[in-house]
Amino acid sequence: MATAPAAAVIPDGRRSKGSDSSSSPVTTAIFLFFFVVVVGVLVSARWITTTTHLSITNLDQWRSKPAILTTTHTTSIPAIPAAPPPPRATYSLSCSAPPLACDLDIPSNISQTLDLALSPNASSASASASTCAAIPDPPPLPATANASSICPTYFRSIHEDLHPWRAAGGITRAMVDRARATANFRLVVIRGRAYIERIAPAFQTRDLFTIWGILQLLRRYPGRVPDLDLMFDCVDWPVVHADQYQGENATVLPPLFRYCGDNETLDVVFPDWSFWGWPEINIKPWNALQKELNSGNRRVKWMYRQPYAYWKGNPDVAAIRQELVKCNVSSEHDWNARIYKQDWVKEIKAGYKQSNLASQCIHRYKIYIEGSAWSVSEKYILACDSMTLVVAPKYYDFYSRVLMPMQHYWPVRDDNKCSLIKYAVDWGNSHKQEAQI
Ligand SMILES: *[C@@H]1O[C@H](CO)[C@@H](O)[C@H](O)[C@H]1NC(C)=O
Ligand SMILES: *[C@@H]1O[C@H](CO)[C@@H](O)[C@H](O)[C@H]1NC(C)=O
Ligand SMILES: *[C@@H]1O[C@H](CO)[C@@H](O)[C@H](O)[C@H]1NC(C)=O
Ligand SMILES: *[C@@H]1O[C@H](CO)[C@@H](O)[C@H](O)[C@H]1NC(C)=O
Ligand SMILES: *[C@@H]1O[C@H](CO)[C@@H](O)[C@H](O)[C@H]1NC(C)=O
Ligand SMILES: *[C@@H]1O[C@H](CO)[C@@H](O)[C@H](O)[C@H]1NC(C)=O
C-alpha cells in the first residue's frame, strides 16, 4: 500500500496568489519559513557536520548538552558510508521570498546574543530599511524536475492552519508572547542566523534535534529563510483550544508550534524531532532510516511476508493500545493480529537488536495506533510497504492529513477493533494483488 509518506503525497498545483494578498507580512514570513522547512525535511540529504551560526542567550543551561550548537564545532555523529549522492529532489520555492534585511556591520566571527541583534542600535548606522530593500532576491534554485517542483499536497494544510491569524488580521507581539506560556524554546531567525532562547527543558533531546533540523534548513537554503520569531512547544499534546479564542479573545490567539494537532485545537504543526534523529532510542534521522527501510522492504517480498497484522510498541501509554493488546493471538481466538510489547530497558541492554525498524517489514500488515497523542512511528510503519491498518486517529501531524483511506491505508474503527483487523487481514490475504499495492 503506501510507501514512504514523501511518496504518498500527490503533487498538486500552485495555489492562487489572490487569497494571500490580504495576509500580513508576519503570516507570510511564517508561511515561507514553513514552506522551506517542510521542503527541507523531505529533501534532507545528508548529515551536516558543521552547524550554522547560532548563538544561545543562556549558555550555561546548554553547556551540559552535547555541543552541537556552537558556531564552529564539528559534530561527531558518524557520516553515512560513502555512497553516490542520490539526485536531490528540488522544489522551486514558487512563493517568492521577501528581500532579507541586509547584513549589518556586525563582524561575522562574533557571536551575538539575541538581545544585541534585536537592539534598535544594531541597525543605527548607515544601513536603513530602504538600503536593505535594494538587496536582490537570492538566485532561483536550479530547475531540475518537472513534477517535484510543484508544491506537495500537504502544503494546503499550512494555509488552513494559519488561516485563523489571517482572519485576525495578522500575528501580533501579544499573540507570540502568549504562546510563551507553554513553549520550550523561542526561535528567532535574523538574516539567516538562528537565535534560541531556551524557556523550559524539553523531554530528552527533542528541542535539540528540532533546532538541529532548523539549522540544516538555514544551511540548505541560505538567504531563503525569512526573519521570524516563533514559540515552539515540544510536548506531545496540543493546547491551543479553538473554543477559548472566540470573539474578542481572537486577538490573543497564540501561534504555537508543535508536532501534532487535532480538530479542537489550533496549534501549528511542524515536523517532529525524529526526522533529524532520536538518539535515546537509537532512531536515526529519517533520511538514513528511509534507505534502510527500503532495503528492508526489498529483503522480503510482500507475498512471502507473514500473513498477519503486526504491532510493536508501548501499550501502557494509552487505553486504546491496551485494548489492542487484547486482539493478540491466544489459545481462544486468532484475530490475525500479532501484538508485541516494546520493553525499552531490555532493548537498550541488548543494543536495540530487536527494535531495528528496517527488520520489522516482515509482515503483510502493520498496525498504526496512536499513543498519548500522535506517534512518530507512523512514518516508519507507512514506510514498510506492507498494508497499513490505521486505528481511528484523533491527532494529525504535518503530513498525515493528505493520507487517503483505502489508497494509503486501511481504516479501522475504534470500536470492534479485533474483528475489524481480522476482516482486513482476511480480505488482504484473499485479494493479494490489491492488498500489496
Ligand atoms: C574578527 O575578524 C576581524 C577582521 O575580520 C578581526 O580583526 C577580529 O580580531 C576578529 N575577532 C575575533 C574575535 O576573532
Ligand atoms: C543606543 O544608542 C543611543 C544613542 O545613540 C544610546 O544612548 C544608547 O545607550 C544605545 N543603547 C545601547 C544598548 O547601546
Ligand atoms: C520532465 O518530464 C518529461 C516527461 O515526463 C521527462 O521526459 C523529462 O526527462 C523530465 N525532465 C526532468 C528534468 O526531469
Ligand atoms: C476569553 O478568555 C477568557 C480567559 O481565558 C475566558 O475566561 C473567556 O471565557 C474567553 N471568552 C471566550 C468568548 O471564549
Ligand atoms: C502476543 O502473542 C504472542 C504469541 O503468543 C506472544 O509471543 C506475545 O508476547 C503476545 N504479546 C503480548 C503483548 O502479550
Ligand atoms: C477532523 O475533521 C476532519 C475534517 O472535518 C474529519 O474528516 C475527521 O474525521 C475529524 N477527525 C476526528 C477525529 O474527529
Cβ atoms of 79 and 47 closer than 8 Å: yes
Do 242 and 351 share a domain, yes or no? no
pLDDT at 93 (0 to 100): 38
How far apart are alpha carbons 381 and 2 in whole angstroms? 9
255 and 306 share a domain? Answer: no
Using DSSP's 3-state secondary structure scheme, residue 364 falls into strand
Q: 115 near 195, Cβ under 8 Å? A: no
Among 225, 260, 279, identify where a domain stops: 279
| C-alpha cell belonging to residue 254 | 497564540
The ligand whose atoms approach the alpha carbon of 143 most closely is: 3
Task: Measure the CA–CA gap between 293 and 288, rounded to whole angstroms.
Answer: 9
Q: Give domain status of residue 368, yes or no.
A: yes
Q: What is the pLDDT of residue 360?
A: 80
Q: In this structure, are residues 239 and 297 in contact, taking their beta carbons and an 8 Å threshold?
A: no
How far is the C-alpha of 56 from the C-alpha of 112, rounded, in Å?
8
Q: What is the pLDDT of residues 96-118, one digit of tens each?
A: 333 334 444 444 544 556 666 66
Kindly give the distance from the C-alpha atom of residue 135 to the centroid of ligand 2, in angstroms, as a whole number.
27
**Measured from the CA of 144, which atom of ligand 3 is nearest?**
13
Average pLDDT over residues 194-207: 94
Domain termination site, one of 279, 296, 325? 279
Q: Which of 95-99, 172-176, 327-331 has the weakest average pLDDT?
A: 95-99
pTM above the 0.75 mark?
Answer: no
Q: Are residues 142 and 62 in the same domain?
A: yes
Phi, psi (degrees; rounded to nearest 5) at 44: -50, 115
Domains held by the chain: number: 2
Average pLDDT rounded to a whole number, residues 68-83: 36
Closest CA to 185 of 65, 32, 317, 99: 65
Centre of ligand 3 to C-alpha 150, Å, is: 14
Q: Give 235-290 pLDDT, tens digit per residue.
A: 999 999 999 999 899 999 999 999 999 999 999 999 999 999 998 888 899 999 99
Predicted confidence band of residue 201 (pLDDT cuts 50, 70, 90): very high
The answer as to whether 112 is a domain residue is yes
d(CA 396, ligand 6 centre) in Å: 10
- Provide the pLDDT for residue 266: 97
Residue 212: inside a domain: yes
Q: Whose CA is nearest to atom 14 of ligand 3?
A: 145
Tell me: do 275 and 129 sit in the same domain.
yes
Candidates 234, 237, 249, 161; CA nearest to 199 is: 234
Q: Whose CA is nearest to atom 5 of ligand 6?
A: 263
Segment holding 177, helix H or strand E: helix 173-179
Compute φ and ψ for 158, nearest 5 degrees.
-60, -45
Q: Is 331 inside a domain boundary?
A: yes
- Please tell me if the CB atom of residue 264 comes closer than 6 angstroms to any atom of ligand 6: no
SS3 294: helix
For residue 83, being part of any structural domain is answered with no
Lowest mean pLDDT among 22-36, 76-90, 202-216, 418-432: 76-90
Same domain for 272 and 287 = no
For residue 339, pLDDT beyond 50: yes
Q: Which residue has the least CA distance to atom 6 on ligand 5?
A: 340
11 and 125, same domain (yes or no): yes
Q: What is the mean pLDDT of the chain?
A: 75
Which ligand has the shortest distance to the CA of 72? 1
User: Which range, 7-21, 39-53, 362-376, has the best average confidence (pLDDT)?
Assistant: 362-376
Q: Percent of the chain scored above 70 by pLDDT? A: 64
Least confident stretch, 63-72, 82-91, 254-263, 394-403 = 63-72
- Write out the DSSP string of 12-74: -PPPPSGGGTT--HHHHHHHHHHHHHHHHHHH--S--SBPPPEEES-HHHHHTS-STTSSSPB
Same domain, 146 and 170: yes
- 244 CA to middle of ligand 4, Å? 6
Q: Do 349 and 409 share a domain, yes or no? A: yes
Is residue 285 within 8 Å of 44, Cβ to Cβ? yes
Ligand located closest to 337 CA: 5
**Domain CATH for 356:** 3.40.50
- Domain containing 70 equals 5-78+89-279
> 145 and 72 in one domain?
yes
Ligand 2 nearest atom to the CA of residue 120, by list position: 1
Note whether residue 272 is domain-resident.
yes
- Among candidate residues 248, 279, 310, the one where a domain is terminated: 279
Q: Are residues 125 and 224 in the same domain?
A: yes
Ligand 6 centre to CA of 131 (Å) is 48
Any domain includes 340: yes
